[in-house]
């Protein structure tokens, strides 16, 4: 009995360490290089409410997702796109997202990870903007790399990607290819010390998100502060606001609020 008790304690301790080490590394407006736990599933619903937009552009978007942690290195998402772009709420399309972590170094209270990712999406929304956004706005694909450094309670992450519009979303006079980039940092505010995995985690983060169109040298840069709550290491609530700092290209919605609810289901595979 004593041997099984020690094994159980060790398993619980490892699970707790793994769950809490990601607390301040789950960014709101971008993905980190880390993945969700292996053999787990998740449901995520993201709502974007536009506060400054072009006439005829949608007031809100709803993005439901199902996520799957195939193993410690591979994560898959199936995404849906819903908006009121035509005056009434309707499904606009969907997409698939994959992320593969190919490099990891782990130390006590710190680690560094790199991952490659790709997204393919389709949308029937009419293209009204020069900004390229294949996650809900236009049909196309995106591929890139992520590097994330965790230093105890502070996480820093950088992303760079190439994005291209395909099909009916391609328009003469609009750039159809772009380079995206982001720089994110997040910090664990609460708790000051861990006692059990059921403690509420509160994280604050700020992200810089930019895009440079290829062919016409137009670009934009946004800042996006957010606060995040993680309950029982399983349920996540994100609240964020995205504010345009500058832009030389047209955008249907420059500023928006984000509300997200996510729940992870362990050992579904």
On the question of pLDDT at 18 being above 50, the answer is no
On the question of pLDDT at 201 being above 80, the answer is yes
On the question of pLDDT at 187 being above 60, the answer is yes
On the question of pLDDT at 17 being above 70, the answer is no
Q: Name 169's Cβ contacts closer than 8 Å, sequence gap at least 6.
A: 123, 127, 138, 139, 140, 176
pLDDT tens string 125-157: 888 889 999 999 999 999 999 999 999 899 999
On the question of pLDDT at 51 being above 80, the answer is yes
1-5, 104-108, 132-136: least confident range: 1-5
On the question of pLDDT at 198 being above 90, the answer is no
- Once rounded to an integer, what is the mean pLDDT over residues 197-204? 91
- Once rounded to an integer, what is the mean pLDDT over residues 191-214? 91
Q: Which band of pLDDT confidence, cut at 50, 70 and 90, is reported for residue 15?
A: very low
Parse the chain into domains and list their residue ranges.
2-265
On the question of pLDDT at 101 being above 50, the answer is yes
Q: Which band of pLDDT confidence, cut at 50, 70 and 90, is reported for residue 109?
A: confident
Q: What SS3 class is residue 19?
A: helix
In this prediction, residue 255 carries a pLDDT of: 94
Q: Quote the Cα angle for 64-24-35, to 5°.
A: 55
In this prediction, residue 152 carries a pLDDT of: 86
In this prediction, residue 24 carries a pLDDT of: 54
Give the whole-number percent of the chain exceeding pLDDT 90.
Answer: 69
The two beta strands, 90-107 and 253-265, are: unpaired
Give the whole-angstrom CA distance, residue 203 versus residue 186: 7
Q: What is the CATH number of domain 2-265?
A: 2.40.160.40
In this prediction, residue 172 carries a pLDDT of: 72
9-13, 109-113, 198-202, 212-216: least confident range: 9-13
In this prediction, residue 160 carries a pLDDT of: 98
How far apart, in Å, are the Cα atoms of 118 and each of 31, 58, 140, 144, 145? 12, 26, 11, 7, 9
Q: Which band of pLDDT confidence, cut at 50, 70 and 90, is reported for residue 22?
A: very low
């Amino acid at each position: 009995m004593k041997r099984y008790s020690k094994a159980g304690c060790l398993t619980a301790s490892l699970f707790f360490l793994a769950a809490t080490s990601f607390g301040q590394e789950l960014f709101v407006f971008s993905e980190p290089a880390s993945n969700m736990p292996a053999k787990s599933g998740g449901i995520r619903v993201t709502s974007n409410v536009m506060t400054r937009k072009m006439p005829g552009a949608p007031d809100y978007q709803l993005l439901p997702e199902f996520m799957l942690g195939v193993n410690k290195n591979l994560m898959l998402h199936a995404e849906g796109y819903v908006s009121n772009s035509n005056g009434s709420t309707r499904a606009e399309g969907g997409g698939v997202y994959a992320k593969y972590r190919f490099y990891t170094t782990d130390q006590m209270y710190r680690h560094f990870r790199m991952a490659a990712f790709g997204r393919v999406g389709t949308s029937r929304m009419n293209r009204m903007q020069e900004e390229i956004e294949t996650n809900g706005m236009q049909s196309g694909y995106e591929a890139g790399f992520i590097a994330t450094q965790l230093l105890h309670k502070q996480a820093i992450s950088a992303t760079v990607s190439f994005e291209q519009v395909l099909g009916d979303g391609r328009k003469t006079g609009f750039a159809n290819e772009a380079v995206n980039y982001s720089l994110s940092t997040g910090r664990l505010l609460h708790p000051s010390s861990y006692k059990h995995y059921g403690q509420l985690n509160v994280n604050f983060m700020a992200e810089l998100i930019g895009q440079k169109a290829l062919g016409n040298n137009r670009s934009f840069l946004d800042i996006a502060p957010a606060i995040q709550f993680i309950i029982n290491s399983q349920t996540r609530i994100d609240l964020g606001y995205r504010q345009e700092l500058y832009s030389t290209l047209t955008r249907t919605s420059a500023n928006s609020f984000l509300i997200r609810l996510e729940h992870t289901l362990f050992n579904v595979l």
